[in-house]
Amino acid sequence: MRNLAVSPVRLALAAGFAVLAAAPALAQTQALAKVKVGNVNTVSDISIYIADKKGYFKAEGLDIEFIGFQSAARMIAPLGTGELDVGGGTVGAGLYNAYSRKIGIAIVADKGSSKPGYNFSQLMVRKDLVDSGRYKTFADLKGLKIATVAKGTGNAATLNFALKLGGLTFKDADIVELGFPQHVPAYANKAIDASITNEPTLTLIERRGLAVRVDKKEQVYPDHQTAVLLYSDKFRKERAGDALKFMRAYIRGARDYNDSLKDGHIAGPNADEVIATLVQYTEVKDPALHRDTTPNACDPNGNINIASLEDDLNFFKADGLIEDKNIKATDVIDLSFAQKVQAELGPYVKK
């Protein structure tokens, strides 16, 4: 009979070879560069979520650490100190004022915008006011109590645009500040008459028959640059290589997201995959709700609508919210990383 015993020497050699074989994978894991990303748990973060879910960041040698925030405005300070590498959200007056105070931060790519068929931030009016005829046109916003998230935000700029369409100003309405989740009970209790509401809260309100979208022709702020991706100066200047890697993974995620868009919904060939990612990463765990909502647009190359940002900035200036009256939107924009990735990946071709 053959002796099946293995000598201690052979066991040692085998163990040594196993360690050597595992060493490259172990070294690769240890070599991943940590990137701290601010997260407000919104659907406009979908390109980041896809890139994380599909391993695009790891393929670039990056280890993503999500850090939760209640709003994008609260990311400004940690981005300025370099405690946070990447952030994103609505562009507000606070961003421009931070730049004026030499707080290092830059807009580097699109994260969410309203485009024809993908107007995910809309004017709503309480259903009983529409049914009764109290509201018929934008001019009928006069005297109504209207909710916006906060003063000096893109959400407020959208409301300003809607009021202008009716020949009105902020002084002609009763403006209150409410976070999107509070719009639902506020409508139910008739505490507000109208609002600028983002998805998925918008669809939740419609499902309950509390309010309706009244901008059927999408006249309110077309092509609005609603949300942007932000880099800290420390990340983009001292870790430019990692910043480029992040952008490459991010834009790959944005292109996958664009593949999922069809006829104003997440209904493309990879829709199930994208919706599963939203269910995993966001607080909305109902796949059907994600299918029903109007998703945000997100440029597959990371391009930004600078004219829209300038319009918002002019509104903030007129409202007395900007410290440096000479500041321009382009002062806080750095598209060099997105442009390099565009050149590398080539033109986006929708699947």
Identify the pLDDT of residue 90.
Answer: 86
pLDDT tens for residues 205-243? 999 999 999 999 999 999 999 999 999 999 999 999 999
Residue 25, pLDDT above cutoff 50: no
Q: Which of 27-36, 135-144, 256-265 has the lowest mean pLDDT?
A: 27-36
Start-to-end CA span in the chain (Å):
63
> What is the model's pLDDT at position 30?
60
What is the structure's pLDDT at 201? 93
Q: Which residue's structure tokens are 């022709």? A: 217
Per-residue pLDDT tens over the stretch 293-341: 999 999 999 999 999 999 999 999 999 999 999 999 999 999 999 999 9
- Token readout for 221 is 């702020």
Query: Are the CB atoms for 63 and 56 separated by under 8 Å?
Result: no
CATH placement of domain 33-114+224-345: 3.40.190.10
- 284-303: buried (b, 16+ CB within 10 Å) or exposed (e) per residue? beeeebbebbbbbbbbbbbe
Tens-place pLDDT, residues 136-192: 999 999 999 999 998 899 999 999 999 999 999 999 999 999 999 999 999 999 999
Is 124's pLDDT higher than 60? Answer: yes
Residue 327's Cβ-side half-sphere holds a number of Cα atoms within 13 Å equal to 26
- Cβ atoms of residues 82 and 234 within 8 Å: yes
Task: Calculate mean pLDDT across residues 45-73.
Answer: 94
165-185 burial code (b ≥16 CB/10 A, e <16): beebeeeebebeebebebbbe
Residue 4 has pLDDT above 80, yes or no: no
Which strand ranges, in their side-by-side order, compose the sheet holding 145-148? Answer: 174-177, 145-148, 194-198, 121-126, 211-213
Q: How far is CA 344 from CA 25, 61, 347, in A?
A: 27, 18, 9
CATH homologous superfamily, domain 121-213: Periplasmic binding protein-like II (3.40.190.10)
* CB contact set of 318 (below 8 Å; sequence gap of 6+): none
* Model confidence at 351: pLDDT above 90: no
Determine the average pLDDT of the residues in 35-50: 92
Residue 98: predicted pLDDT: 93
C-alpha span between 2 and 5 (Å, rounded): 9
| Phi, psi (rounded to 5 degrees) for 117 | 90, -10
- CA 220 vs. chain centroid, Å, equals 20
pLDDT above 90 as % of the chain? 83
The boundaries of every CATH 3.40.190.10 domain in the chain are 33-114+224-345, 121-213
Question: Does 27 have pLDDT greater than 80?
Answer: no
Please answer whether residues 176 and 145 qualify as being in contact, where contact means their C-beta atoms are separated by less than 8 angstroms: yes
